[in-house]
Amino acid sequence: MRATYKKHILQFKQASGTSRGILRTKETYFLQIERNQKIGIGECAVFRGLSVDDVLDYEKKMQWLCTNINLPLQTLLLELIAFPSIQFGVEQAFLSLQSDSGFNLFPSSFTDGNDSIAINGLVWMGTEHFMAKQIEAKLKAGFTTIKLKIGAIDFEKELTLLKSIRSDFSAKEVTLRVDANGSFKPEEALEKLKRLSNFEIHSIEQPIKVNQWDTMEELCAKTPLDIALDEELIGIFQIKDKKKILEKIRPQYIILKPSLIGGISGSNEWIVLAENQNIDWWITSALESNIGLNAIAQYTYSLGTKIPQGLGTGSLFTNNIDSPLQVKNGNLWYVKDTPWNFGFSKY
């Protein structure tokens, strides 16, 4: 068996705002493994500025992986524990190698095109006008769950946007989620949560910055709306440490981003620990190309969860991989007769 990799720079159709800044490009790596004339493909989607594996020797680790690809999979995953995006790429590539088509990693009604995954419509940060136009477009596209990234413009203006939605749509008609990306100051967070709760918000992701466990524990105990941990999960590798943070903070939800938390195996660990403590969860992509998004979507469907997931980012890029993944009426579908256009020979 031999392995190679190729760097790919995804180009955003439109600059996308988060509390960490404006995103115009997204770096990723495609891993290809070959065995007996069969090819497997996976995506190692490092997220610069967010991934724990955003380190100078990232490509050196990719080179190590290609040199040692014939080691047992579990040995590889253990060696790559500090590189969760590479772990996930390896898992994808091995599943792809075992698949008849190379892309049907978790055969199901989803990959047969007979069922879909409910997803939220993502509204990026920007001016009040820009965000309002996105909200209007998502509602017209049939989304019944809208997720707004907040924290970049004035909080009062963000509340005005939420109020405008609620003036037209009740909580039964449209579910609202918000993601603060750690932008609230600890001393003001609870008051902001109270004000957000006036608009029947489903949940807020990561209201304050990571590693403030005592404050986050207090917020989760007192909050008038559900809190979901997101960035807080990044960089926690050992099961005992995962268990510790959940027992300490007691969030209402956790958000699982396989590329940031160790792929399928890492996500499975978090799910078991969370469910043991009656903590709910959902899965979100992290700006992968359609290669990684395909793996996340198929894995998500295999888990049987019914609440809307965060899997709608495949249409953000001008140079994504053509795939059967299509968003229709607020759901992600795998349109079986639509061909993949990856071009293995190029990589």
| Positions marked active-site | 149, 257
3 state DSSP class of 28: strand
Are residues 293 and 285 in contact, defined by beta-carbon separation less than 8 angstroms?
yes
Nearest to 41, CA basis, from 86, 106, 103, 85: 103
62: three-class secondary structure by DSSP: helix
Judge contact between 96 and 116, C-beta under 8 A. no
**Cα–Cα distance measured from residue 346 to residue 105, given in angstroms and rounded to the nearest whole number:** 22
Rg of the chain, C-alpha, whole Å: 20
82 burial type by CB count under 10 A (0-12 exposed, 13-18 middle, 19+ buried): middle
Beta pairing class for 121-123 and 145-149: parallel
Q: Which residues contact 294 (CB under 8 A, 6 or more apart)?
A: 103, 105, 323, 325, 334
Phi-psi region of 235 (alpha: psi -120 to 50; beta: other; left: phi over 0): left
